[in-house]
Structure formats: structure tokens, C-alpha cells
A and B are shown apart, each in its own frame.
Chain A
Amino acid sequence: GQNIDQPTEMTATEGAIVQINCTYQTSGFNGLFWYQQHAGEAPTFLSYNVLDGLEEKGRFSSFLSRSKGYSYLLLKELQMKDSASYLCAVTDSNYQLIWGAGTKLIIKP
């Protein structure tokens, strides 16, 4: 079956750096998305990786290794507003999205 694994919850300190990992086993691969979802709100797009390597966008970076079935989202200079769930989703060979359950990130002062 197809599977996306992410940690359920992580805690980090304001101003620090945190890395949220995502591993996947899917039938084919056509890209990987990260979305941010604040409690009670809609998911919003953060990043998209289709080739190996690091994509940087301000304080957020996303890394992909297709050979390892692995991605991470790196958040730098954490702010309280970064407290949210982070959703990893993979596009399979049929161009369907397979979603992880999300990682709830708690930022402490």
C-alpha cells in the first residue's frame, strides 16, 4: 500500500531551528508538497519538490531525496506564529495526492 510517515508532534523553542521529516512509500513519484495548517484553518501551500535537493524560500526550506523516499521541511528563526500542523503530500504515478497525517509543531517561548 501507499504510505506517508511523519512525526505526530514536535516541540521547539522560539528563535530556534526545527526539521520535520517525511518518508514515503508510494507507487511512483511525481512530486512532493508541504502545506501549513493552523488550527481550525485551511491548509496553505508552502513548497513543492520534484527534483532532489534543497529548495529555499525565506525562513522555510524543503529537501528531497527520491532514492531514499525522504523529505524534510526546515524552519529557521522560529516564531510563535509557526505553531501549526505541517502536512506532507506525495503525487503518485497516477498523479493522485497521498497525504500524511501531519506533524503538529508547538513553539514555546
Chain B
Amino acid sequence: IAGITQAPTSQILAAGRRMTLRCTQDMRHNAMYWYRQDLGLGLRLIHYSNTAGTTGKGEVPDGYSVSRANTDDFPLTLASAVPSQTSVYFCASSDSYREGTGELFFGEGSRLTVL
């Protein structure tokens, strides 16, 4: 089934540890995004990539990094996790070049708890 896959689905992590959330899509979409979703808040954009080889910062990029070596993969790395990064993380993709111009397809989410 075509779509977007995230791993892990859930993780408990000690503060200070490094963590990479994986995201893979098989829809050949150009644009990919990482959001975090916290209770009572709207989705917030962490980083984005409009096409392979390029990345950009979203609304809340501090403490996170991304790479886009190819069209399909867009991993999100927390270099040194802190408790405030406890959240549900969603990867999304779109065949539009800009965030707000096309339907977003979301992965199932990665629930991260930092202790």
C-alpha cells in the first residue's frame, strides 16, 4: 500500500540521548515535512524539504535537524533530547512545492517521551 511510513511508533528516551525518527514515502512526492503535535496546540512545523537535497527551518526548529539525501527518506534527529521534546511527531509529504498549496499525506506518527 502506497503511503508514508514512520518509525518507531513509540519511544521512551532518556534526556541527553540522541534519537532519529525515520520517515519514508513511496509516493514520489517532492515535499516532505516534520510536525510536532502537542495537546491544546495546533500542529507546528519543525523542518521541511521542498525537494531532495534541500531543507528549511519551520516554526520550531531548535534542537532538531533533518536531511534529505533522496526523494523517499526524510529523517528527523534530536541531537540531545530534552523533556520539552516530549510530543507526537508526524511526518508528511505533498506533491506541491509549497506547504500550504496541496493536500498533505501524514504518517501514523511517532510518540516520543523524554524523561
Contacts and interface: CB of A to CB of B under 8 A. Distances in A.
Interface of A: 4, 30-31, 33, 35, 40-45, 48, 87, 89-92, 95-102
Nearest to A4: B42
B109 A48 contact: no
B108 A41 contact: yes
17 contacts: A33-B100, A35-B104, A40-B109, A42-B90, A42-B108, A42-B109, A43-B104, A45-B103, A48-B103, A87-B43, A89-B42, A89-B100, A95-B100, A96-B100, A97-B100, A99-B43, A101-B42
Contacts of A102: 42
A95 B108 contact: no
Contacts, number: 55
A91 B100 contact: yes
Interface string B88-112: 0010000000111101111111000
Label chain B's interface by main secondary structure: loop
Given A42-B109, A45-B103, A98 B42 contact: yes
B101 A43 contact: no
Contact of B99 (A4, A45, A48, A97): A97
Given A42-B108, A43-B90, A44-B106, A96 B101 contact: no
B41 interface: yes
Given A41-B108, A43-B90, A99 B42 contact: yes
Contacts of B103: 33, 45, 48
B101 A100 contact: no
Contacts of A31: 100-101
Contact of A87 (B40, B42, B44, B105): B42
B10 to A, nearest CB: 10
Contacts of B104: 35, 43, 45
B46 interface: no
A71 to B, nearest CB: 15
Given A4-B42, A98-B42, A99-B44, A42 B107 contact: yes
B111 to A, nearest CB: 9
Nearest to B91: A42
